[in-house]
Structure 1
Amino acid sequence: MEASERTISQILTEQIRYEIPPYQRPYSWEKGNVEQLLDDVWEAYEADDEEYFIGSLITIERTKGALYDVVDGQQRLTTLNLIFARLRDKMSDPYAMVDLEARVRLPKKNKDDESKARLTLRSRDQAFYLKHVLEKHPVSSVYRRELEKSQDKPKLNILENIEAIDRFCEGKDEKTIQAFKDYLLDRVFVVMVATQSMKSAYRLFNVLNARGMPLSNADLIKNLLFARLQGGQKSEELEERWLELEETIGIDRLDQFFAHHRSSLVAVKSRKALHEEFEPIIERSASPFMFLDQIIASAKNYVRILQANFDDSMALRSLRSLHRVAFEEWIPPLLTFLNQPVPNMSEGEFVVLLEKITYQNWIRRLAFTARLTVYFQLINAIRDGKTSEEIISIFRGGANDTEFRSLLDGEVYGRPFAHAVLMRLEEADQDESVTKTYRGKITIEHVLPQALKDEYWSDRFTDEEHRSWLHRLGNLALLAGTKNYRAQYFSFTRKKDIYAEKNKIVSFDTTKQVLGVDDWTPDQLGDRHGNLMSRAMAVWTLGVAWCPLDPSLAVTRRSDPKG
């Protein structure tokens, strides 16, 4: 391994070329990173600092003094190439233009030579870099929208960063830009480290991560796969498979997906860093390619979960409800089921049961480890090939309908689950073929106000009844918009007028129930509470369905304010 301090001019000279190897992450610097680099170097330039250090460039030397794979430093190196390309485009001085061109392309040895880029990005991005950066072809608005729609972050980063470079140059004359270019080339330094093998690169990758460099777990998992390649195997095929994974999931979600996938495989709490947890999994796989085949299949199911892409209307409604939950531990068992379906059990049946147990666990306030117990039991049962009846018994065994009902029957307002519960109960009596989408801010309103300031309320509710009913389901209504402080202490008639206006913006069926009564008394409140509790128990019970034998058991009457 060799290390030396070099100027930018010395690393971007002669026939030296750099390639971003396939195990590396894509270009991920955003405009804020580029603006910071330019501002820092500009500050050093204005202060006439003798030298300015911008970090290290760690490489594998593939051809002595000529071709290097970039292990660490690709973000800075790519950005420097973007900077020099854009500065080149602003030059009218032919000598300055030629000098800058030589920093981004290899000088031709003769006129018939093909012009080669000094930097080769990952194969997916190289053509874009050549065309729109080195060849200066503008990006059409239509193409840009396509990139934004497909969330092609590396290309979008390149676009936004050259725009940031252009903004930096605004207001600076050509003489100043040339002087800044000279400072960048001759007085900005990197430490260049050249190693000789993939093994060294693998070790450095992990050392860098241990020292807090911003390498993701997905980067390191990818590196584990490339380290397993046998001698003579080309890495291009593995790179293509990895790119397929990135396109399926999106780079920003990879770590999150790998965490869920790991849980779907092993069903135990993580005890190490995520990439370390994957080492034995990768070692057990027949090849890196077989591992990636399984990962990509799982990734496609993960995207189905994220996008709620289910044909079964029952599954779709329950999945939308699950996405309102404050935790995601329910994803691995669903991922396991989709990756390995259970005979005689439909997707709809499994998702509905998963919603039931998840809301029971949430409302029962089970801690993280306790919540995981039933999920891990489900994962193990599915992977062991258990029957649908055995899977259902695990759901039922993890439930406690009595405790669930008792807690939901109490104070709900202010609980983490309050909004999700009310939204789900809003859908409970709707036809399954109907899908309503609620956008904008939705708030929870107390019908019976938090203080009995208006005589309308003090005439109808005792202090004890007020305390008992205030924060319970029957007294809560969904409204569109911000919190309705203007109406909080008004009489019921005035409140209804405000609710009706709000309900025109977004119509909530459960709020219409409030608008449909003339008076808000303990009996009316009790009727609505009983109705919502009946819906809740129909949606979320897992044992014998809760159904009151006598209507009076479902409704809290004035004579029994505590229920």
Structure 2
Amino acid sequence: MAINATEQPLGKVFTADYRFRIPSFQRAYIWKPEQILQLVSDLDEACKSPAVPYFLGSLILVRESDAGEYAVIDGQQRLVSLSIIIAALRDLEQDPEWMRLLDALIVEPGDKLRGIRNEPRLVLRDRDAAFFREYVQEGNLEALFDLSDDDLSSAAQHNIMVNTRQTYDALARFTDDERRRFASYLVNGVTLVIVTTDDLDGAHRIFDVMNMRGLPLTPSDVFKARAMSGLRPVELDAYATRWDDIMDPLGDDARATEEFFAALHMILTHKPATGKLIEDFLTDVLQAHVAGGTVPAFIDRVLAPYATAWRILDKPGDTVLAEGLRDRIELLNDYRNREWKPVAMWALVHSFRNLGQPGLSPFVQRGSHTRRDAVDESALGLHDRQRLDELFAALERLTGIDTLNRTGALERRGHAAAAIRDLDKGYPVRLVRGLSVKPDDRTGALIRLHGEMQGDDDLVRLLLVRANEQAASGRIARPRRLSALPIVPLDIADETSFAQWTQDEHDYWMYRLGNMALVQGSADQLDRIGDYRQRRERMLLRPDSKRFPLTQQLADFTACTPAMIRHRQEETIRLLADYWDIRYDERHVDLTAQDIEGLAAGEGGGAAATRAGRGSRRVTIAQVVKAGLLIPGETLVWERPRKGERWVATVTDNGRFRLEDGSEYASPTAAARAAGGRSGGGLDVWKRVSDGRKLSDIWQEYRLRR
């Protein structure tokens, strides 16, 4: 078995030297938004030090031909995600040369003279290969954004669609220069180790050795070894055991322990992470204790209390802390971002004097046969509860606003470092700069609440939980399975209960908060129900659904009208604005009484509007017509020469497509479905007769203008 391993920059990996194929026995693409967004964030930080390479791990490949064809045994998730990132960069780029270079990274441009075919560099499993090629690799992101879940045939396609949306939104917040700097670093600074073999069994053995045999040293192992070097012989055994007693309850997940020490480093140094945790922690923290003979004090007074605080944040429900504080921590755990943790750890350690002391656990002991004295908050040395409550409230408020504004990880970490710096100086919570919400942040959050929430189910569910609990004036017990479901169905064409709705009204409200309700159970329970009364009855069927006031309100409405959904939208926004204390500005003007345009025109609204305006939200025909990119009366054509089929659509004055049979549709995809039975990708099939331009290009021009 011949094995070859070489380290290559990404710009060399995505060339004609390699053509990657995902074998059918491999699992599907399973990365979620948090994973691909973390990769984008990490690369964004790394590119700020362009001379330092970013190692992205190894690819294990089986050579299938001498023409550079390889089966991917390990590395599929990263290859697919990198392709998505490059596709988003390409779609956001306006310079033709940059677009061509980015396109060539994921699609071989071909060369007839050299006999090179135009092909994608990565081919997914059969079920998803055509979808990935059509929408991502070949640059049809506008068509992808126009799809709904009904147009997808696999979970992998859903992951591809959602991850592409989220990546596009994240990169859209960069300036042109920032994106080009990011793209240049991606090609030249990101490296992979390519491990190749001619034997499939051999590739699996390599995979086993690299991933399953032997445990690499974790940061905790490295730090423990350095700390033990600073102990006297009589202290060594006791403090080696003490270290293990402190760290073992955190678990053996290397990523989790790395996150803990990164948070501890920030708390102690006020420095955000640089990507070199082991080097930074040894230099900035441990070296002084080793040199000064204070390792025991570090373990007892720093490591122990902060590790205990970390565990409290992970499982607040298992602690003896007061219910209100447990609830505050549970609310913070609702967020997928974790930059709040260092501040929360600081708050706990500086509010409980005895946290981390041996034999004094803040956790409820269940099923133990050994007798332990009862421990409560007073035994843990609680002091200044008011400051603790204020701090957690301010931290949750900031985390919520940052989540709505899609604030980047680097900026969120900057907030945390600034907050801890001011807290260490003894500032009262109201004066801590890292926890403050600026007028522009407040405006941006309100603009986001007014807008569409398509493709971010977790955020919609979180927002509705917050709004309902604000309406209930307290915490609501959540069922194990909780979904945010639309009141108005995806298709209203044949539903008499929505006869008064226009297609424009439906499209406008479909993905806004006012059309969503919290319901116990799965997300697909209303898929086959179109009638409003039946949908309402199904939503209110289970008692747990009725716990939520905004869901229970549906019982008071015998019909669903646009006015009803508008009322729910306004009420939900008011509740959330009150919850996060962003309803009024400094002059006590009620900002929830303003629409998006009014908010964007107000003080500080320019930056907020820019942030909220350019993203993956669906573009409508009416918007494109209003912008002058489509003209009422002009014709569009969809031709299938091989099948001898041709359909014609006319742009109407009210922003719809009228087919030759007189039927009208509010989206290109709906018109394509009605004309030729195509389930998705309407933007990609229709072309303008006057210049042959595809709608996807027109839609992209509108988005870039906006």
Fold agreement, TM-score > 0.5: yes
Q: Kindly tell me: are residues 223 and 346 of structure 1, through their superposed partners in 2, closer, same or farther at Cα, counting changes over 3 Å?
A: same
SS in 1 for 2:299: helix
Is the counterpart of residue 455 in structure 1 residue 495 in structure 2? yes
Deviation at 1:312, TM superposition (A): 5.3
Tell me the amino acid that sits aligned with residue 219 of structure 1.
D
Is the counterpart of residue 481 in structure 1 residue 521 in structure 2? yes
Aligned to 1:539: 579
Is the counterpart of residue 522 in structure 1 residue 562 in structure 2? yes
Is the counterpart of residue 347 in structure 1 residue 348 in structure 2? no
Q: Kindly tell me: are residues 407 and 360 of structure 1, through their superposed partners in 2, closer, same or farther at Cα, counting changes over 3 Å?
A: same
Aligned to 1:215: 217
1:38-53, aligned counterparts within 5 Å? none
Instruction: Please give the TM-score of this superposition, normalised by the length of structure 1.
Output: 0.55
CA displacement, residues 227-282 of structure 1 (integer Å, 9 cap, x when unaligned):
2224x434111123213303553444533322221222223232354332221201
Instruction: Please give the TM-score of this superposition, normalised by the length of structure 2.
Output: 0.45
Q: Kindly tell me: are residues 549 and 391 of structure 1, through their superposed partners in 2, closer, same or farther at Cα, counting changes over 3 Å?
A: closer
Q: Kindly tell me: are residues 483 and 458 of structure 1, through their superposed partners in 2, closer, same or farther at Cα, counting changes over 3 Å?
A: same
RMSD of aligned alpha carbons: 3.4
SS in 1 for 2:437: helix
Is the counterpart of residue 361 in structure 1 residue 414 in structure 2? no
Aligned to 1:427: 469
Q: Kindly tell me: are residues 393 and 250 of structure 1, through their superposed partners in 2, closer, same or farther at Cα, counting changes over 3 Å?
A: closer
Tell me the amino acid that sits aligned with residue 283 of structure 1.
Q
Aligned to 1:185: none
How many residues are treated as equivalent by the alignment? 346
Q: Kindly tell me: are residues 274 and 385 of structure 1, through their superposed partners in 2, closer, same or farther at Cα, counting changes over 3 Å?
A: same
SS in 2 for 1:479: strand
1:84-95, aligned counterparts within 5 Å? none
Aligned to 1:335: 345
Aligned to 1:241: 242
2:305 corresponds to which of 297, 301, 304: 297
C-alpha separation in 1, matches of 2:468 and 2:223? 43
- Does structure 2 retain, via aligned residues, the 8 Å contact 1:442–1:480? yes
Is the counterpart of residue 324 in structure 1 residue 338 in structure 2? no
- Does structure 2 retain, via aligned residues, the 8 Å contact 1:267–1:380? yes
Tell me the amino acid that sits aligned with residue 479 of structure 2.
Y
C-alpha separation in 1, matches of 2:504 and 2:497? 13
Q: Kindly tell me: are residues 240 and 551 of structure 1, through their superposed partners in 2, closer, same or farther at Cα, counting changes over 3 Å?
A: closer
C-alpha separation in 2, matches of 1:333 and 1:317? 17
C-alpha separation in 1, matches of 2:398 and 2:246? 31
Q: Kindly tell me: are residues 235 and 399 of structure 1, through their superposed partners in 2, closer, same or farther at Cα, counting changes over 3 Å?
A: farther
CA displacement, residues 171-196 of structure 1 (integer Å, 9 cap, x when unaligned):
xxxxxxxxxxxxxxxxxxxxxxxxxx
State which structure, 1 or 2, has the greater radius of gyration over its C-alpha atoms. Answer: 1
Gaps of 5+ in 2: 1-209, 352-382, 598-621, 624-706
Aligned to 1:282: 286
- Does structure 1 retain, via aligned residues, the 8 Å contact 2:513–2:572? yes
Tell me the amino acid that sits aligned with residue 296 of structure 2.
F
SS in 2 for 1:445: strand
C-alpha separation in 2, matches of 1:431 and 1:526? 23
CA displacement, residues 437-474 of structure 1 (integer Å, 9 cap, x when unaligned):
431x3222111112212333542211221121111111
Deviation at 1:358, TM superposition (A): 0.7
C-alpha separation in 2, matches of 1:407 and 1:454? 32
The farther-off stretch of 303-312 and 544-553 is 544-553
C-alpha separation in 2, matches of 1:290 and 1:246? 16
1:92-491, aligned counterparts within 5 Å? 214-230=216-232, 232-252=233-253, 253-280=256-283, 281-285=285-289, 286=292, 287-293=294-300, 294-308=302-316, 309=319, 311=321, 313-341=323-351, 346-391=387-432, 394-397=435-438, 400-415=441-456, 416-432=458-474, 434=475, 436-439=477-480, 441-484=481-524, 486-487=526-527, 489-491=529-531
Q: Kindly tell me: are residues 521 and 435 of structure 1, through their superposed partners in 2, closer, same or farther at Cα, counting changes over 3 Å?
A: closer
SS in 1 for 2:234: coil
Q: Kindly tell me: are residues 551 and 323 of structure 1, through their superposed partners in 2, closer, same or farther at Cα, counting changes over 3 Å?
A: closer
